[in-house]
Chains A and B, each alone.
Chain A
Amino acid sequence: MSTDPRPEHAAIASDTPGGTPGDPDLVDVRAAQADPAAFDRLYRRYVDRVYSYAFYQLSDHHEAEDVTERTFLSALAAIGRYEDEGSTFRAWLFRIAHNAIANAHRSRARRLTEPIESIAEPTAPGADPAAVVARADRTRAIRAALAMIPAERRQVIVLRFVDGLSSREIGAVLGRSPGAARVLLHRALADLAAVLDRADL
């Protein structure tokens, strides 16, 4: 399991408006197209991030697992047909996850879900307990604030800050232009500023 949520972040997210980012996954995608067994490398690289994306939207571990499973099974089934069409493999993968999440929202029965702010944060062994508590409090407050902003803006925040996608890739995931994704990011940050300001954080 990878521990760094943004291992290739620097290679992708620095795209500027109008720029065309490279796709660091393309070699592994071609390998998986030639031999599906090589898909495992892509799976290991992205399972944490796809799961996180689903979990932040659904606030339910079981539903997040279901979405993760559907996403990777669909991706494996379709990897042979994947073509680089101006975006990246991970934008394509998160687009599949995005659709699976939309289906989960549509079909989910009304049932209790674990509030997203109550999920325990992984901590490093030997960490200063006071710092751990302060960080956990701040993380809880941020997750509570995230739950209060519109869903599409929350998706942009998670895709950018947790999954490390660029605005161009986020646009591809949400079916929006890169400019629209940047505007959504601006509005999401403004919303969170207002919510966190009210919470005095």
Chain B
Amino acid sequence: MTPRRMTTSPTDADLLDRAVSALLDDEPATVPPALADELAVARVLSGSLSAVPPGAEFEDALARRLTRGSRGDPGRLMGRFARHHQRLVVTGAVSSVLLSTASAAVLAWRLAHR
């Protein structure tokens, strides 16, 4: 979607922000008629959008990692995490090069023996 081009006066934005805060606090929210559509959408969002929780297994596993990290040097934990991902990237790159080389060799062999 192309972003809608519109001018927004700070006053309108402030009024709407206050109304949204009131809405989220379950208090009466009112705005001038010009902002009624935006407030109506905010009402729909406040009743419909919710958190998407992670899986319990992931949450508990990360909690255990954080607990281990909090007992040692948390910076080292992050370093290990980064190194693990770096290894995955390097392994993937090397595998990709090996596969490409092997494919090229097979292709060359087949062409040479036609």
Contact = CB atoms under 8 A, between A and B. Distances in A.
Interface of A: 1, 5-6, 9-10, 13-17, 35-37, 39-40, 43-44, 47-49, 51-52, 55-56, 61, 64-65, 68-70, 72-74, 76-77, 79, 119, 121-122, 135, 138-139, 142, 148-150, 153, 157-158, 160-164, 166-167, 179, 182-183, 185-187, 189-197, 201
B24 A9 contact: yes
Given A76-B70, A76-B74, A186-B13, A69 B4 contact: no
B108 interface: no
A74 B54 CA distance: 19
Contact of B21 (A14, A40, A47, A148): A14
A56 to B, nearest CB: 7
Contacts, number: 171
B40 to A, nearest CB: 7
Interface residues of B, number: 49
Given A9-B24, A10-B25, A142-B49, A182 B13 contact: yes
B28 to A, nearest CB: 14
A37 B53 contact: no
Nearest to A73: B78
Contacts of A163: 51
A189 B41 contact: yes
Contacts of A142: 44-45, 48-49
A162 B49 contact: yes
Contacts of A182: 10, 13-14, 16-17
A129 to B, nearest CB: 18
A49 B51 contact: yes
Nearest to B26: A10
